[in-house]
Amino acid sequence: MTQLLQQDLKWEQRQRLTLLEATVFWSGEVSTNALTDSFGISRVQASKDLRLYQALCPGNIHYDKFLKRYVIEATFKPAFMKGSAGEFLQVLKIQRDGAGGALVALINNLPPVEIVESAVRQINRIILQTVNQAIIAGKEICAVYQSMSRIEPVELRLSPHALVFDGLRWHMRAFSRTHNEFRDFVVARVLSAEFAGSTDIDPSDDLAWHLFVTIKIGPHPGLSESQKAIIEFDYAMENGILEHKVRAAVVPYFLKAMRIGPDDLMREASVQQIVLLNRDELKNYLLF
């Protein structure tokens, strides 16, 4: 797409075409309903947007008469986005939080601020794209996976049904025919992935994914009363307890994010500060 054509687009058009492109890139397909539902436009306008996108980005999508929607081409090249995992995470956060309203920019009276973030971990966007499309279309994938418990990569047949971002890494929740159970797999450790037909696995059978449990966290018992009080205030605890409900399958990720491990009670109180209170209740979902 030429720079001239980009400049000629109105802001509203650019927003709709960006959503269109992001949808087809990550899902493998897009329909007129995706545009009408998101922007409140007519089907006529949505069809115009699709034709405009095809004109600006030839070779990216084509209309599938059988599916009755537009599908991605093998020659697809992003024109309105980067197609990065960071962009994808932003979309998922907005969808999860229901924060789809207008974004307001704060212009004045901003203090100096430095945001400390962990080093960005590299991920193959094509692998992430393939996994997401498999989830959307209900497909199985053949993946070459480098586990940290094995010296050499192994080939796995996986039926992914959900993605998890733990703040550092992407994981997929999938049924592994190799292990005959639902497991978590680090997406960055997938060396290659290709579709292997439709899956017959029902995601509702993943009990640990659909079960929600409550994690209870409290101040380290080694702290003084005044130290405990400030920790309780810091984490908005009630009666010395912070209760947080999560999927059973993501309990280890949440605890890792909270820097709570198997030795939380043994570590120096002023360093650890918080501990897990209901370890016995959650023992079936802990990795340690």
pLDDT band at 63 (very low <50, low <70, confident <90, very high): very high
How much is the pLDDT for 233? 96
Q: For residue 162, list its beta bridge partners.
A: 173
Chain segment 152-190, per-residue pLDDT in tens: 999 999 999 999 998 888 999 999 999 999 999 999 999
What whole-number percentage of the chain has pLDDT above 70? 90
pLDDT of residue 106: 37
Strands 139-145 and 242-247 come out as unpaired
At 17-57, the pLDDT tens digits run 888 898 889 889 888 888 888 778 899 999 999 999 999 99
> Which of the four pLDDT bands, split at 50, 70 and 90, describes residue 107?
very low
Confidence of residue 61 (pLDDT cuts 50, 70, 90): very high
Please state, rounded to an integer, the average pLDDT across all residues of the chain: 88
Query: So what's the architecture of 125-204 in CATH?
Result: Roll (2.30)
Buried b (16+ CB within 10 A) or exposed e, 117-136: eeeeeebebebbbbbbbbbe
b vs e for 138-147, b when ≥16 Cβ sit within 10 Å of the residue's Cβ? ebbbebebee
Instruction: Give the helix/strand (H/E) hosting 145.
Output: strand 139-145
Confidence of residue 221 (pLDDT cuts 50, 70, 90): very high
pLDDT value of position 101: 47
3-81 CATH choice from 3.40.50.720, 3.30.497.10, 3.40.1800.10, 1.10.10.10:
1.10.10.10
Cβ 39 vs Cβ 11: under 8 Å:
no
The domain ranges of the chain are 3-81, 125-204, 211-285
- Determine the 3-state secondary structure of 126 from DSSP: helix
pLDDT of residue 45: 92
Mean pLDDT value across residues 85-91: 78
Helix (H) or strand (E) holding 266: none
Q: Is 139 helix (H, G, I), strand (E, B) or coil?
A: strand
Give the pLDDT of residue 84: 84
